A and B are shown apart, each in its own frame.
Chain A
Amino acid sequence: MDEKETRLVELVLGGQTNAFEPLVTPYRRLLLTLAYRLCRNVEEAKEISQETMLRAFRYLGSFDRKRSFKNWLLQIEMNVWRSLGARTADEGTLRELAAQNTTEDPGERLMGNEVREKLLACLDGLSPREREVFLLRDIEGRSIKETAGVLRTSEISVRVHLSRARAKIRELVKERFPGLMEGRR
């Protein structure tokens, strides 16, 4: 956690809640995109991302400033994603928040829709845990240790799921995009 983030956290905890926005703005795209890659639904991704922000604000006092703020946010988002996937009591809160926030912004743009669909077609073949590990390690570039920390699991478990995920991705890409593999054998 850098000095700027530390200062902003102290300001928020000191009562200046408007300091929260500059604190989380650098991560707003990251959180929304990751949520979308996990759930493959824009509205649901917004719900997950909103709940992540709410929990981050609510529990900012318990954040250990020696840790990475980015990893802490990712950890919250993974928890939200899992709780949503498990259809727990949080669902009600999320649906309520979504109902308050249904305005379609004409400026919203998803870059490279066609390409994105191809990516999602590959991710669909992974189990939820494999998808989480693959996205954090291979797409977001977190280390094995950081990934284990975000997912609250062991490094061994991360390696096992990562290995399976990569092997599946290879098979899926080979099957769906055979042109990419030409000349590799």
Chain B
Amino acid sequence: MNCSRVRKWIPLYAGADLSARKTRSLEKHLERCPDCGAELEELKTALVSVRAIADQEILDWPEAEWKGLMARVQAEKPDRRPVTLPGAIPKKAWAYGLAIILIAGIAFLIMRSILSPPAAPLLSKFVTATPVQPSRSLKTDEATSFGYPRNTPFKVQREKAATADRATLAAGSAPEKTTQNVMSMTLVSQQTGLKVHWTFNRNFEWEEKKR
């Protein structure tokens, strides 16, 4: 332990206000450091001197003034209600209150960002934009071509085995056995209105359209 740290503790140590752990460390240091020991002695001497002077310095009320003051005080009415001024609330209570509000606010913001997925409005757009009825099946060709921009850079890689059958895209239970090979999705930006169309095959693969 170096002297600069010990000297920060000496003022509290001189008045027996230092914690037990720091006191032990400081006393070990004092055993081998005469300079810090001398500083401690100086501080103790200064404090004892000031205390001694203070003990001699006592002011008192002149008796007539004191009686006059008591007469004025007693002419008042004591307020029996508890003090409810803001100043009566300890600073700690204000600090704790503000900290709780701050933490609750941050937690609310975090939970809101977690619990409200950004895809929710886009999904609803997708559902409303898809003309597929719950009980209706589409041919693969219809499904892949519906709403698909002609200049889109993507196209679906069709699987030959799948295209042989009538593929379906159903939002609900189909009345007959169907196989869903293709799924399209439209993402719409609420702010800019930009639409992005995606079409996936059963393996969720996509292929860039080659011109």
Contacts and interface: CB of A to CB of B under 8 A. Distances in A.
Interface string A82-103: 0000000000000001001101
B21 to A, nearest CB: 14
A74 interface: no
| Most B CB within 10 A of own CB, among A59, A110, A144 | A59
B50 A173 contact: yes
A163 B11 contact: yes
Contacts of B39: 170
Interface of B: 8, 11-12, 14-15, 17, 38-39, 41-43, 45-47, 49-51, 53-54, 56-66, 68-70, 72-74, 76-83, 87, 90-92
The 3 nearest A-B residue pairs measured at CB:
A105-B62, A61-B80, A166-B11
Contacts of A101: 65, 68-69
Interface of A: 12-13, 17-18, 20-21, 28-29, 32-33, 36-37, 42, 45-46, 49-50, 53-54, 57-62, 79, 97, 100-101, 103, 105, 107-108, 110-112, 115-116, 118-119, 122, 137-139, 144, 152-154, 159, 162-167, 169-170, 172-174, 177, 180-181, 184-185
Contacts of A57: 73-74, 76, 78
A12 to B, nearest CB: 7
Nearest to A58: B79
A45 to B, nearest CB: 7
Contact of B76 (A58, A152, A180): A58
A70 to B, nearest CB: 16
A118 B46 CA distance: 12
B38 to A, nearest CB: 4
A105 B67 CA distance: 13
A138 B14 CA distance: 11
Nearest to B77: A58
Contacts of A108: 60, 62
Contacts of A36: 59
A155 to B, nearest CB: 10
